[in-house]
Structures are given as C-alpha cells and as structure tokens.
Amino acid sequence: MKIAIGCDHAGVELKKEIISLLNNLQIESIDFGTDRSESVDYPDFGEKVSLAVSKGEIEKGILICGTGIGMSIVANKFPGIRASLCNELFTAKMSRLHNDANILVLGGRVVGSDLAKEIVRTWVSTPFEGERHCRRLDKITRIEENLKR
C-alpha cells in the first residue's frame, strides 16, 4: 500500500510522526508537503493529495490541518474521494468498514500524537466490509455522476 500525505502548517509535526509510523508499518508514504511552520493555505495541499487519490495514482491519503474540517471539505470535492475526519478510534474503524474511506483526515490541534498514531494504525489495518455497504457507495457514485452533468 502507498499513502499520500499532506498538511498545512498546523499539521507539520504530526505529519512527521505519522510518516515515521507508516515507515515502521512498512507502508510507503509520499509526502505532498508542507514542511513549513509558517502559515500556508490548506487547500493547496489538500488538492495535491486528493487529486492523486482521485486519479488512482495512489491508493489512499492522509490529510492534516488544524481541525481537519478544512481538509475534509477540500478532499470531498474530488470525484471518488471518501474522506473521513476521525478524532477517535471508532470513527476510524467505521470509516473503513462501512464507507471504504480512502482519505483519513486528522485535526492536528484536536488530537494528540499518540491518539493520532492509533487512529492511523486502526485506519490502515481495517478492511472494507463490502456487501450491503457497496450498494450505498454505488449510490454516492451515482450522485457524483449526476452532478457532473
């Protein structure tokens, strides 16, 4: 598995820790920035990661901003993206089991690094259940396709 990761200035330190965790889990990460603590615009980095996942260039992504809300909004603008903001383990697990989330969003100012790492661990290790949930995801895909017209 390959994971794209990006953040704004509020997520730089947490991003470094998550990249280290992914390396320890033998998961390749592609860093889309930023590496600066000076203020940057989260849409710039959310777009890069979301586009790569939307195009199928990379299987999954992780985005981090201060609350995670802004990155969630950006990511979910892209076709085929199912970005889930997760601040605890239950939503991380369910976002994969039921929603086949392909981008995990974290609030760098909301969750501590230990919890964030557990969320990532849970998210990357939880498979999609499929079955009845496929029907629901198909409906989301139809909504996207209808909106394109």
Show which residues are catalytic: 65, 98
Q: How many CB atoms lie within 10 A of CB 141?
A: 12
Q: What is the DSSP string of 35-92?
A: --SS---HHHHHHHHHHHHHTTSSSEEEEEESSSHHHHHHHTTSTT--EEE-SSHHHH
- The answer for residues whose C-beta is within 8 angstroms of residue 37's C-beta and 6 or more apart is 9, 12
Q: Identify the three-state secondary structure at position 27.
A: coil
Report how far Cα 68 is from the mean position of its chain's Cα atoms.
10
Q: What angle do CA 114, 66, 40 make, to 5 degrees?
A: 125
